[in-house]
A = this chain, B = another copy of it.
Amino acid sequence: MSPIRGYVFDAYGTLFDVHSVVEAGREITSDPVTLSATWRQKQLEYTWLRALMGTYADFWEVTEAALRYAIRQLGLAATDAQIRRLMDAYLSLACFPDVKPALGRLAGRPRAVLSNGAPTMLAAAVTASGLTTFLEHVISVDRVKTYKPSPRVYALGPETLGASAGELLFVSSNGWDVAGAKAFGYQVAWCNRSGAPEEELGVRADLIVDALDRLPR
């Protein structure tokens, strides 16, 4: 790998555990793990579909639409108040235990988040998990009104950090995001905490780690 002038992190699934909403799901189902998985899958699908259709709606709207679909698909029912509580859980997602030690170790070079999240969602999650002082930049796709893996999104990293993509290390736990960042030109680390199989998208991470505190300084 070449020298690294800054770090660009994915947020959901990489810093924040999206499945920490499972607790809030117990109110409407005895199988909140399946609800959370279905919700997350649909949330990603809707970002990809809307980006391709050219009908951007922000991540808060997409996340609620995906939740409503997941509830119907699983044959569940939820009141508006219950949907509100599930959505609110997104504003205070837990961060993974390796996140703070990892970000602390990398201090000295700019550390950024580049995320699908709407600005208010990102601000809430960063604050709630105590990451404010660990991040120099929090960048939302909302600036370009499309979603990952569009190159227009990945371009925001170099633009904001003032370095070329090849001088930055992009870090994601999402295999498809790894592929998108690599295709764009970043150096890329895949944080594969769950032992997921590698995606078959024609590009590979430069580095695979099983926790963020294994990233190179």
Contacts and interface: CB of A to CB of B under 8 A. Distances in A.
A72 B199 CA distance: 10
Interface in A29-47: 45-46
A205 to B, nearest CB: 15
Interface stretch (A10-18, A50-58, A89-97, A208-216): A50-58
A55 to B, nearest CB: 6
Nearest to A55: B183
B48 A151 contact: no
In the assembly, how many copies of this chain are there?
Answer: 2
Given A48-B52, A54-B151, 17 more contacts: A45-B45, A45-B176, A46-B201, A48-B49, A49-B149, A49-B180, A50-B201, A51-B52, A52-B52, A53-B183, A55-B201, A65-B200, A65-B201, A65-B202, A69-B199, A72-B197, A72-B198
List the 8 closest A-B pairs by CB distance, nearest first: A65-B200, A48-B48, A72-B197, A69-B200, A53-B149, A53-B183, A73-B197, A52-B150
11 contacts: A46-B201, A49-B149, A51-B52, A53-B179, A53-B180, A55-B201, A55-B202, A65-B201, A68-B200, A69-B197, A72-B197
Interface of A: 45-46, 48-55, 57, 65-66, 68-69, 72-73, 147-151, 176, 179-180, 183, 197-202
